[in-house]
Structure 1
Amino acid sequence: MSEMESELSTRAFVRRELVAERAAPIKTTGFVGFLRTRLFNSPTNVLLTIGGILLLWFTVVPSVKFLLIDAVWTGKDRTACLAETVGRPVGACWPFIQAKFSQFIYGFYPEAERWRVDLTFVLAAVLLLPLLIPRLPAKGLNAGLFFIALPVVAFFLLYGGGLEGFGVSWAAALLSGFNDSIGGGGDTLATFSQTIPVIGSLLWLLGKLLVWLSLAVSFVLWPLTWLRDQIQTSASPVWTDFAVTAVMVSLLLFFLSGGFRTGWRALIVSLAIFASVGIVISVMGLDRGGLPVVDTRLWGGLLVTLVVSVVGIVASMPVGIALALGRRSTIPLIRIFSIAFIEFWRGVPLITVLFFATYMLPLFVPAGFTIDGLMRALIGIALFAGAYQAEVIRGGLQAIPRGQVEAANALGLSWGKTTGLIVMPQALRHVIPGLVNSFIALFKDTSLVSIVALFDLLGQLRAAFADPVWSTPTTLFTGFAFTGLIYFAFCFGMSRYSLFVENRLNAHSRN
Structure 2
Amino acid sequence: MAGPAVGQSRPFVPAPDLPPPASMRGTWGWMRTNLFSSPLSAFLTIGSIAFVAWYLPELIRFLFIDAVWTAPDGALCREPGAGACWAYVSAKLSFFTYGAYPRDQVWRVNLVLGSGALLALWLLWPNLKGKGTAAVLFFVVYPLLAFGLLTGRTPFPLPVPDLASIGTLIGWAMGFGPTRIHGDVWQVIGTMVAIPILLLVGSALVLMRHARLGVPLLLFACWWILGIAWPMTRLTLVGTDLWGGIFVSLLVAAVGIVFSLPCGVLLALGRRSRLPVIRFLSILLIEVVRGVPLITVLFMANTMLPLFVPEAWSPDRLLRPLLGVALFASVYMAEVVRGGLEAVPRGQYEAAQALGLNWRNMMLLVTLPQALTAVIPGIVNSFIALFKDTTLVAVVGIFDFLRAVDVQRLDPAWAGPTISTTGYVFAAAFYFIFCFAMSRYSLMMERRLAAGRKR
Q: What TM-score comes out, normalization by structure 2 length?
A: 0.81
**Residue pair 2:97, 2:244 contacting (<8 A) in 1 also:** yes
Report the counterpart of residue 399 of structure 2 in structure 1.
455
**Counterpart code for 1:118:** N
Q: Does 1:128 align with 2:73?
A: no
Counterpart-to-counterpart distance in 1, 2:212 and 2:289? 42
Q: CA deviation at 1:277?
A: 2.2
**Residue pair 1:323, 1:387 contacting (<8 A) in 2 also:** yes
Aligned with 1:166 (options 150, 158, 161): 158
Report the counterpart of residue 90 of structure 1 in structure 2.
82
Aligned with 1:272 (options 217, 225, 239): 217
Counterpart-to-counterpart distance in 2, 1:396 and 1:164? 39
SS in 2 for 1:480: helix
Q: Does 1:58 align with 2:54?
A: yes
Counterpart-to-counterpart distance in 2, 1:65 and 1:508? 48
**Residue pair 2:141, 2:219 contacting (<8 A) in 1 also:** no
Query: CA offsets per residue over residues 345-374 of structure 1, 9 Å max, x none?
Result: 001111111111111100001242121011
In structure 1, runs of 5+ residues without a counterpart are 1-23, 170-234, 244-263
Q: 1:29 to 1:157 in 2, by over 3 A?
A: farther
**Counterpart code for 1:269:** G
Report the counterpart of residue 142 of structure 1 in structure 2.
134
Report the counterpart of residue 63 of structure 2 in structure 1.
67
Q: CA deviation at 1:48?
A: 2.1
Correspondence 1:385-404 to 2 at 5 A: 385-404=329-348
**Counterpart code for 1:506:** A
Counterpart-to-counterpart distance in 1, 2:136 and 2:369? 19
Report the counterpart of residue 80 of structure 1 in structure 2.
76
Q: CA deviation at 1:168?
A: 10
**Residue pair 1:106, 1:114 contacting (<8 A) in 2 also:** yes
Q: 1:389 to 1:38 in 2, by over 3 A?
A: closer
SS in 2 for 1:474: helix
Aligned with 2:27 (options 28, 31, 34): 31
Q: 1:288 to 1:38 in 2, by over 3 A?
A: closer
SS in 2 for 1:482: helix
**Residue pair 2:84, 2:418 contacting (<8 A) in 1 also:** yes
Aligned with 2:277 (options 325, 333, 354): 333
Q: 1:322 to 1:476 in 2, by over 3 A?
A: same
Report the counterpart of residue 320 of structure 2 in structure 1.
376
Q: Which structure has the larger Rg?
A: 1
Q: CA deviation at 1:25?
A: 5.2
Aligned with 1:497 (options 421, 427, 441): 441
Query: CA offsets per residue over residues 215-239 of structure 1, 9 Å max, x none?
Result: xxxxxxxxxxxxxxxxxxxx99xx9
Q: CA deviation at 1:32?
A: 3.5
Q: CA deviation at 1:26?
A: 2.2
Report the counterpart of residue 342 of structure 1 in structure 2.
286
**Counterpart code for 1:131:** L
**Residue pair 1:325, 1:394 contacting (<8 A) in 2 also:** yes
Counterpart-to-counterpart distance in 1, 2:79 and 2:367? 63
**Residue pair 1:162, 1:290 contacting (<8 A) in 2 also:** no
Counterpart-to-counterpart distance in 1, 2:155 and 2:426? 40
Identical amino acids, percent of aligned pairs? 48
Report the counterpart of residue 102 of structure 1 in structure 2.
94
Counterpart-to-counterpart distance in 1, 2:215 and 2:121? 26
**Counterpart code for 2:118:** V
Q: 1:474 to 1:391 in 2, by over 3 A?
A: same
Report the counterpart of residue 411 of structure 1 in structure 2.
355
Aligned residue pairs: how many?
395
Q: CA deviation at 1:280?
A: 3.4
Q: 1:26 to 1:478 in 2, by over 3 A?
A: same
**Residue pair 2:84, 2:419 contacting (<8 A) in 1 also:** yes
Q: 1:320 to 1:27 in 2, by over 3 A?
A: same
Q: CA deviation at 1:344?
A: 0.3
SS in 2 for 1:75: coil
Q: What TM-score comes out, normalization by structure 1 length?
A: 0.73
**Counterpart code for 1:155:** F
Q: 1:464 to 1:79 in 2, by over 3 A?
A: same
**Residue pair 2:147, 2:154 contacting (<8 A) in 1 also:** no
**Counterpart code for 1:105:** T
**Counterpart code for 1:54:** A
Greater Cα offset, 71-80 or 273-282: 273-282
Q: 1:141 to 1:66 in 2, by over 3 A?
A: same
**Counterpart code for 2:102:** P
**Residue pair 2:298, 2:393 contacting (<8 A) in 1 also:** yes
Counterpart-to-counterpart distance in 2, 1:347 and 1:40? 43
SS in 2 for 1:46: helix
Alpha-carbon RMSD across the aligned residues, in angstroms, is 2.7
Q: 1:30 to 1:154 in 2, by over 3 A?
A: farther
Q: 1:278 to 1:348 in 2, by over 3 A?
A: closer
Report the counterpart of residue 217 of structure 1 in structure 2.
none
**Counterpart code for 1:159:** T
Counterpart-to-counterpart distance in 2, 1:267 and 1:333? 32
Greater Cα offset, 474-483 or 24-33: 24-33
Q: CA deviation at 1:383?
A: 0.7
